[in-house]
């Protein structure tokens, strides 16, 4: 299995048989190394409905036939666009061809803004726990710090956690470092920073604050080293 970071909150997981994209914000993402017309995902997983996380989901799924997994409301809306989507909710888990997906709570907003400036409610935001080929991966989405991260860490032996550090819209470095102490992952990757002016950060600050895990700062296209 190969886990690659592609800028903002975009993560690609490649197994022997499947390609999984998480939050594929490619078009308009100046930090990514991906080309939306070249990606061939089998599954797309979404943490929530914001445009910088849904990203190229519709175009990708229509072109490739990928199954999209997300909140019930988001999956229903994608179904209206002709996408094969599976709706889930907080606390629920399901088995897919590539592995197990469980959604956790996350604390922030979730909506999609259309080209006509309509804001559509997309259900509760969620974090994702993936169990694939014996590894546990946690993608926190855009969450704020919350105390029940301790429960997540107690229930799940997290190998790799992707945590936002950009501040302004998500946790900043200080809160993300506290999240690490609660979650107790082996490896943590900071995400959701530097893409836009309000979330400019120096990731070394996060590294200096984390005492409970190995921090790997990845550029777009870099893979997690196990």
Residue 177 falls within a domain, yes or no?
A: yes
Q: Say if 142 falls within a structural domain.
A: yes
- Judging by DSSP bridges, how do beta strands 93-96 and 99-105 pair with one another? antiparallel
Is 223 within the bounds of a domain? no
Inside any domain, residue 222: no
Sheet holding 19-22, edge to edge: 2-5, 11-14, 19-22, 43-45, 67-71, 85-88
pLDDT of residue 146: 98
CA distance 184 to 93: 21
Q: For residue 158, what is the domain's CATH number? A: 3.60.15.10
Query: Would you say 201 and 174 are in contact if contact means Cβ atoms under 8 Å apart?
Result: no
Q: Which of 27, 17, 90, 89 is nearest to 57 (CA)?
A: 27
What domain range is 16 assigned to?
Answer: 2-215
> How many whole angstroms from its chain centre is CA 105?
13
Distance between CA 125 and CA 57 in Å, rounded?
A: 17
Report residues of the chain scoring pLDDT below 70.
none
Domain-embedded: residue 7? yes
Total domains, the chain: 1
Q: What is the pTM of this model?
A: 0.97
Has residue 225 been placed in a domain? no
Structural domain includes residue 226:
no
Tell me if 135 sits within 8 A of 158, measured CB to CB: no
Q: 111 has which bridge partners? A: 121
Asked if residue 220 belongs to a domain, the reply is no
Q: Enumerate the H helices of the chain as residue ranges.
A: 51-54, 57-64, 72-80, 149-155, 173-183, 203-209
**pLDDT at site 221:** 97
């Amino acid at each position: 299995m190969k886990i690659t970071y592609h800028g903002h909150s975009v993560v690609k997981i490649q197994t022997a048989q499947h390609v999984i994209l998480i939050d594929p914000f490619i078009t308009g993402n100046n930090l990514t190394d991906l080309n939306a017309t070249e990606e061939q995902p089998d599954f797309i997983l979404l943490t929530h409905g914001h445009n910088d996380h849904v990203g190229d989901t519709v175009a990708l799924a229509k072109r490739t036939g990928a199954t999209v997994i997300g909140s019930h409301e988001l999956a229903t809306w994608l179904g209206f666009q002709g996408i094969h989507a599976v709706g889930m909710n907080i606390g629920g888990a399901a088995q897919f061809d590539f592995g197990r997906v469980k959604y956790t709570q996350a604390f922030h907003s979730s909506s999609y803004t259309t080209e006509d400036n309509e804001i559509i409610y997309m259900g509760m935001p969620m974090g994702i726990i993936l169990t694939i080929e014996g590894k546990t991966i946690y993608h926190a989405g855009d969450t704020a710090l919350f105390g029940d991260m301790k429960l997540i860490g107690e229930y799940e032996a997290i190998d790799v956690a992707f945590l936002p550090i950009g501040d302004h819209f998500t946790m900043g470095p200080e809160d993300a470092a506290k999240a690490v102490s609660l979650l107790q992952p082996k490896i943590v990757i900071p995400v959701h920073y530097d893409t836009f002016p309000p979330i400019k950060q120096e990731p070394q600050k996060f590294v200096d604050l984390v005492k409970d895990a190995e921090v790997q700062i990845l550029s777009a296209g870099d893979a997690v080293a196990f």
